[in-house]
Structure 1
Amino acid sequence: MSSDRRSDLVAGVPREAFRPSVVFLCLVALFVTSGWMAWVEFGNVRFDVFLFVVSGWLVSLCLHEYAHAIVAFRAGDRGVAHRGYLTLNPLKYSHPLLSIVLPVVVVLLGGIGLPGGAVWVDRHEIPGRLRHTLVSLAGPATNVLFAVLLVVPFAVGVEVFAHEEFWAGVALLAFLQLTASVLNLLPVPGLDGGNMIQPWLSPQWRRGYDILAPYGFILLFALLWNRQISGWFFSAVFAVGDALGLPEWLYSEGFNLIRFWQGAG
């Protein structure tokens, strides 16, 4: 192999496999542009906030899945690069419907940051239980990081009334990241929280886990459908939001704004 050819490889993988996709860059551009539109109240500000929140949520989904993929790559699964997961292109995901469409619909209807199972990791290529846990932890860690960063302006006392619609969108994004952080860390089979503990289970418990794992989303919906469990969940999220200084009235306003089709209310 020539030296020029070797210079185009990273750990035996072409550098193109690591370049952000046009789809992801367009999402970032839409996020920045719609944020500016909401800031200056350009046109229909409710629609501006809708674009800002949805594009921001999609960007966070891409980075969540990228975190899984890059940690898996470093842990030994080179296949994630060949499957296109390191380009941050959501169209490369295993289940675009579950990973993109469903989470956005749930955000619009229920204001919950639903986790999505997207990148397929070849666990046989990754040695050691700790590495498996770190691969699963990487995604939720991005949600926690985003939640903290988005809450910082409110924690330091930013003046929200000067650009209220913009800050309502930021507050809603922060709330979505909080809900996603909690949901992703729940020990539900098939989801990130469950996958974090799966390598440490006894063989008997692991067999049971593997049977339930394909139905993780259904199990999650069943849990949230239960009024008592749903109440516990939201009480925990509200408590964390209050502790971090996230104004409840502001992200509630953001949720009302993104449903622009309902008109002002």
Structure 2
Amino acid sequence: MVHQRTRSERQVSSVFLGMVAIMAVTGWAVWTGYSQSAGLAVFLFVTSAWLVSLCLHEYAHARTALHGGDLTVGAKGYLTLNPLKYTHVLLSVVLPLLFVIMGGIGLPGGAVFIERDRIRGRWKHSLISAAGPLTNVAFAVVCTAPFWLGALDGVPQPFRFALAFLALLQVSASILNFLPVPGLDGYGVIEPWLSYRVRRELAPLAPVGLIAVFALLWIPAVNAVFFDVVHGALSALGVPDLDSYCGFDLFRFWEDTEGFCAVPQP
């Protein structure tokens, strides 16, 4: 009975498999030009891929916590990759997706709830917090692989643009997640090494940390500096600014913009 329960706690959810299927089908549509609207296909592909990456981000937190000593993550459904099992679906899925649509920013969401008192060792706590954003880093490396490997020959333009924009989301999410702001994973990495007094003073800021970061990004000067860093990282990975810009342009298909980012219709 215990073995069966353990298996069910770690069985990949149909919700996640459905998102992967949508990502695969829409990625194929972008590649082949099957859809009558390249923008709509890019939107669905990037959105589903972004949601898949969010699930993997939270799974990495939970899986690392499991090996660190918190055996309750299985019973909470965190190992099933089901986004509906997260403590805050609004913070973990809805708001990050909204931020992508509004401003093309891969803003991190709320985390799974880890029972930290079950985990011993500061390194384990830091690794649990780092596991999520490291997943975004890995996702960014995969998305940019055709660029830094020089393997773009034969890659359709819309798919290239979609990969570039998805890479931008992953890079921006990685950078934001690693910020040492209470409530974000970057702070979780360093928190175990802070004194009890500092941790106690900063604890009340955790619920508003994500909101504060989002608010700062709407300040033009801050936004410009942030995206300079993001595009600098993308450039180092071989992704031209124009490609990520055109990816975002296609993603926002409802604006129906024309210009140098327009792609031929099948």
- Band the TM-score falls in, shorter-chain normalisation: over 0.9
Structure 2 Cα separation of the partners of residues 227 and 249 of structure 1: 20
| Among candidates 14, 18, 23, match of residue 22 of structure 1 | 14
Q: Could you tell me which residue of structure 2 aligns to residue 93 of structure 1? A: 86
1:73 to 56, 63, 66: 66
- In 1, the alpha carbon distance for the partners of 2:111 and 2:127 equals 17
| Correspondence for 1:46 | 39
Question: Is 2:168 aligned against 1:204?
Answer: no
> C-alpha distance in 2, partners of 1:167/1:132?
38
CA–CA separation in structure 2 for the residues paired with 1:162 and 1:206: 49
Equivalences for 1:60-139 in 2 at 5 Å?
60-139=53-132
In the TM superposition, residue 231 of structure 1 has moved relative to its aligned partner by: 2.1
**Residues 84-137 of structure 1: per-residue CA shift (max 9 Å, x gap):** 000000001111111111111111111110100131111111111111100000
| Structure 1 position 243, deviation (Å) | 1.0
Contact 1:188–1:219, Cα closer than 8 Å, also in 2: no
In the alignment, which residue of structure 2 is the partner of 1:156?
Answer: 149
Identity of aligned residues (%): 50
Bigger shift: 196-205 or 136-145? Answer: 196-205
Count of aligned pairs: 257
Please state how far the C-alpha of 1:223 moved relative to its aligned partner.
2.5
Q: Indicate conservation of the 8 Å contact 1:50/1:260, yes or no.
A: yes
**1:180-208 Cα deviation digits (max 9, x unpaired):** 01000000101100111111111111111
CA distance in 1, matches of 2:174, 2:6: 33
* Partner SS for 1:14: helix
Structure 1 residue 209, shift from structure 2 partner: 1.5
Query: How far off its partner does 1:162 sit?
Result: 5.0
Query: Among 218, 235, 242, which residue is 1:242 paired with?
Result: 235
1:165 maps to: 158
Q: Distance in 1 between matches of 2:20 and 2:11?
A: 14
Alignment-mate amino acid for residue 50 of structure 1? F
| AA at the equivalent of 2:14 | V
SS class of match (2:150): coil
Amino acid paired to 2:160: W
Corresponding position of 2:263: none
**Counterpart residue identity of residue 101, structure 2:** L
CA contact (8 A) 2:31 2:155 kept: no
Say yes or no: does 1:254 pair with 2:256: no
Give the whole-Å Cα distance in 1 for the aligned partners of 2:14 and 2:8.
Answer: 12
| Aligned equivalents of 2:212, 2:188: Cα separation in 1 | 15
1:145-167 C-alpha deviation (Å, 9 max, x unpaired): 11111111011223367510111
- Name the SS of the counterpart of 1:118 in structure 2: coil
Indicate which of 203, 216, 219 corresponds to 1:223.
Answer: 216
Code of the residue aligned with 2:52 in structure 1: it is V
Moved runs in structure 1, 4+ residues, more than 6 A?
none
CA RMSD of aligned residues (A): 1.4
Structure 1 length as normaliser, TM-score?
Answer: 0.93
> Which stretch of structure 1 is more off in the superposition, 225-234 or 135-144?
225-234
Consecutive unaligned residues of structure 1, counting only runs of 5 or more, are: none
C-alpha distance in structure 1 between counterparts of 2:155 and 2:89, whole Å: 38
* Helix, strand or coil at the partner of 2:107: coil
